[in-house]
Amino acid sequence: MDTTELPAINSPADLKALPLEKLPALAEKIRKTLIETLSQTGGHLGPNLGVVELTLALHRVFDTPKDRFVFDVAHQGYIHKMLTGRWDKIHTIRQHDGLNGFLLRTESEHDCYGAGHAGTALSAALGMATARDLSGGDESVVCVAGDAAFTCGPVFEAMNNIAAHTKRLIIVLNDNEWSIDRNVGAIAKYFNAIATNPGYASLHQKAARLFEFVLGENARKFAEKVEGKAKNIILPQSETPTNRSVLFDEFGIRYYGPIDGHDIPLLIQTFEFLKTQNEPVILHIITEKGRGYKPALDDPLKFHGLGKYNVETGETAATDKPTYSQVFGRAVTDFAKDDEKIVAITGAMPGGTGLSVFKKELPDRYFDVGIAEEHAALFACGLATRGIKPFLTIYSTFMQRAFDMIVHDMAIQNLPVRMCMDRGGLSGDDGPTHHGLFDIAYLRGIPGIVHMQPRNEDEFVDMLWTMANYDKGPIAIRYPRGNGPGVMPKERPALLEIGKAEVISDGSDVALIGLGDMFPIAEAAKKELEAKGLSVALINPRWIKPLDMTCISSFANKVKVVCTLEDHVLRNGFGAGVIEELSDAGIHTPVIRIGWPDQFVEHGTPSILRKKHGLTVENCVAKVLAALKK
């Protein structure tokens, strides 16, 4: 298909001016651009390849920014960006000072809602539709949600309220059987039962011709007389013990589909019909995640979100050492083989958390609950009441969603749930929705919780072993994205004493306390300060809570300056805890803190962002020297 003669698309108006027969060529051009661009920048390739035709149809029928598109999770918004004046900037996606990898309200007037976590879009869209109704507006509100979003509790809470709050809302259910990993649970099975029913196969083949015939002057007649029967035809009989309609009708939402999500004319005609309806509607479309690129079709998990890759082969660069996630998965799996009480829980992310190995080797004790972090935490609490040892493995940024359960169910009842928070710290090019910069703050004030962070892979496994053998209450560990320094775990892990820091070297002028992945910066700063003639103590704190105040106080009483370093926001972070404890002890030695500022940190590589915000050796040394002069 020749794409060379297509005009530039700089706005939705350009798309609308393009002849309908040219849209398949534009779809091919978009896919080629994405595949080539993301091979250099990394990003969410698979999800975006799956929604090319859908996004073209949406912008063909509706008019943003007046009409509102709310994407869930918004990582599939790259085509939307390209069609709304950002095509020439797509090569900057996820790069510092470039386009964000998710929708961002401050980036474009066409981005009406920003998000990076699943399950938020339907409630937000309902709010927009209700606001429109209150103000007498006539714009359309369209919520685009992947099938995995329907495993989130907030989606069901929103569905429970839609019919009561608005008469006009369009929901697009993008069904591709994947969130990040393959979808799990009853909802996923429900959608699959619809799409794979033998009756659907025939309907799917005839759908384009059928809609082409009816979506004209007979559209309303079709909707009234055919729609209700068609969905019962395609729904498996085992799922419909009565003649009642599908799940969504019980919430007062009219269901249409499933239809081919890659048939542009069919999608356009369907949206033209749906925008006239004065009732909440849901359109169920079937799409292929990774469509148009064989490596992405062959490995949807890998191509959900990845770094640079070879366009021809899809291969990514090999690393010479395992990531923290991989170390975690291997260690906990090995522990579980010797302890039948250990189980692993994750929320739709066995690959990202390193638990794929646990899933493969111990499937009966592996639990993927879908994108349902609140349920995951409660589920772990229930297991813990019966003597099971749950390793609750969720990214730091997603564990925020389970805060109430951590306080109300886990901590108050003193249940020994092991919280393993991957991506604790900066998450680089994913940006503010994914940085794990708040977990110290949201856990530090909860009574009874133990919290720690390792400085290398060997200590990491020791900490996991300590967690496996700790049963006095909730215990948490945070660890960074990607690789560590390369200190491979010893053959037999060691039990660590709770609340006992590791003193690397003594000193009388300055005490540097480097938490976790900031320890190498503290180590390098020590060398520079010693080159200036200063005596510098270096401490690996290990424990965020409880702090080893015997150790920290003893150094604070003899040095002139204490400096803490953390991959976390400074407000209510690790350094703040040190200041509080020293103040309570009546010790007034100045404490310099290195960490992230009181703002949402933008996206970019860790090296760029650390330099910009002062998480560097140079800034540490400068601040210590300035404090010494005072």
Spell out the domain ranges in the chain: 12-304, 324-478, 502-629
CA-nearest of 61, 496, 98, 436 to 265 is 61
> What is the b/e burial string over 36-47, where b = at least 16 CB atoms within 10 angstroms of the residue's CB?
ebbbebbbbbbb
- How confident is the model at residue 300, as a pLDDT? 85
Topology alike, domains 12-304 and 502-629: yes
Q: Which residues are catalytic?
A: 289, 373, 401
Contact call for residues 562 and 537 (beta carbons, < 8 A)? no
Model confidence at 424: pLDDT above 80: yes
- How confident is the model at residue 487, as a pLDDT? 97
C-alpha to C-alpha distances, 294 to 288, 297, 308, 313, nearest whole angstrom: 11, 5, 16, 9
CA distance 442 to 123: 25
The pair of three-digit structure tokens given for residue 21, joined into one six-digit string: 């027969």
Stretch 27-46: mean pLDDT, rounded? 96
Model confidence at 166: pLDDT above 80: yes
C-alpha to C-alpha distances, 242 to 238, 239, 335, nearest whole angstrom: 10, 9, 49
Percent of the chain with pLDDT over 90: 82
| Residue 118 CB neighbour total at 10 angstroms | 29
> What is the b/e burial string over 617-629, where b = at least 16 CB atoms within 10 angstroms of the residue's CB?
bebbbebbeebbe
Contact call for residues 44 and 146 (beta carbons, < 8 A)? no
pLDDT band at 213 (very low <50, low <70, confident <90, very high): very low
12-304 falls under which CATH superfamily?
A: Thiamin diphosphate (ThDP)-binding fold, Pyr/PP domains (3.40.50.970)
- Reported pTM: 0.89
3-class secondary-structure state, position 475: strand
Q: Which amino acid is at 491?
A: E
Model confidence at 219: pLDDT above 80: no
Identify any residues that bridge with 561 across adjacent strands, giving them in sequence order: 510
Contact call for residues 333 and 361 (beta carbons, < 8 A)? yes
3-class secondary-structure state, position 57: helix
C-alpha to C-alpha distances, 263 to 13, 68, 617, nearest whole angstrom: 21, 22, 55
- How confident is the model at residue 451, as a pLDDT? 98
9 alpha-carbon distance from chain centroid: 30
Model confidence at 303: pLDDT above 90: no
Scanning the structure block, which residue is given the tokens 């330099």? 611
The 10s digit of each residue's pLDDT in 594-622 is 999 999 999 999 999 999 999 999 999 99
Percent of the chain with pLDDT over 70: 88
pLDDT band at 228 (very low <50, low <70, confident <90, very high): very low
- How confident is the model at residue 187, as a pLDDT? 52
Model confidence at 275: pLDDT above 90: yes
Cis bond before residue 485 (omega within 30° of 0): no
Model confidence at 37: pLDDT above 60: yes
The pair of three-digit structure tokens given for residue 262, joined into one six-digit string: 């890659």
Can you list the alpha helix ranges (DSSP code H) found in 419-493? 439-444, 457-468
pLDDT band at 191 (very low <50, low <70, confident <90, very high): low
C-alpha to C-alpha distances, 500 to 86, 219, 487, 542, nearest whole angstrom: 52, 72, 21, 7
Stretch 116-130: mean pLDDT, rounded? 96
3-class secondary-structure state, position 316: strand
Stretch 163-178: mean pLDDT, rounded? 90
Stretch 231-245: mean pLDDT, rounded? 38
pLDDT band at 216 (very low <50, low <70, confident <90, very high): very low
E strand map for 186-293:
254-260, 281-286
Element at 385 (helix H, strand E): helix 373-385
Contact call for residues 172 and 277 (beta carbons, < 8 A)? no
CATH of 324-478, one of 3.40.50.300, 3.40.50.970, 1.10.10.10, 3.30.565.10: 3.40.50.970
Stretch 209-237: mean pLDDT, rounded? 41
Contact call for residues 43 and 94 (beta carbons, < 8 A)? yes
The 10s digit of each residue's pLDDT in 359-387 is 999 999 999 999 999 999 999 999 999 99
- Of 217-231, 316-330, 529-543, 607-621, minimum mean pLDDT range: 217-231
CATH of 502-629, one of 3.30.460.80, 3.30.365.10, 3.40.50.920, 3.40.50.300: 3.40.50.920
- How confident is the model at residue 320, as a pLDDT? 83
CA distance 606 to 608: 6
